[in-house]
Amino acid sequence: MITEVSAVNFRQNLGEMINQVQYRNDSIVINKDGKPVAALVDAELFARIRRMQERFDALSRRISDSYAGLPEEEGMAEIEAAIAAERKGR
């Protein structure tokens, strides 16, 4: 479950919020002035997010390196064509 709280409410109930995340595997979205500014998530979920980010960054670097000598317009056209072909094949 995802709970949204104000920053003030979060500060006032920090211990309870930590228990909610730790024991119920909930996530807390912290809002300031009505906008989300941070999240409190289970440490295991955070580790998974970090691994996914690292894999995404590595993939982005590989794609960037592959298209390094190509003008941006040509590279984007090739990528978009590959995406369209993949979607069509589904």
Q: Is residue 34 domain-shared with residue 53, that is, in the same domain?
A: no
CB 40 within 8 A of CB 30: yes
Same domain, 50 and 84: yes
* 33 lies in the same domain as 62: no
Whether the model pTM is above 0.85: no
- Report the alpha-carbon distance of residue 70 to residue 90 in Å, rounded: 29
Output the domain CATH number for residue 20: 3.40.1620
Distance, in Å, from the CA atom of 16 to the CA atom of 21, rounded to the nearest integer, reads: 9
As for how many domains the chain has, the answer is 2
Q: Using CA atoms, how far apart are residues 6 and 39, in angstroms rounded to an integer?
A: 11
One domain, residues 56 and 78: yes
The predicted pLDDT at position 30 comes to 98
Mean pLDDT of the chain: 93
| Shared domain check, 28 and 50 | no
pLDDT at 5 over 80: yes
Domain that holds residue 51: 45-88
| Cα–Cα distance, 75 to 82 (Å, whole number) | 11
Residues 49 and 34 in one domain: no
Q: CB within 8 A of 10, min separation 6: which ones?
A: 17, 28, 30, 40
Interval 57-90: pLDDT, tens: 999 999 888 888 888 898 889 889 999 999 987 6
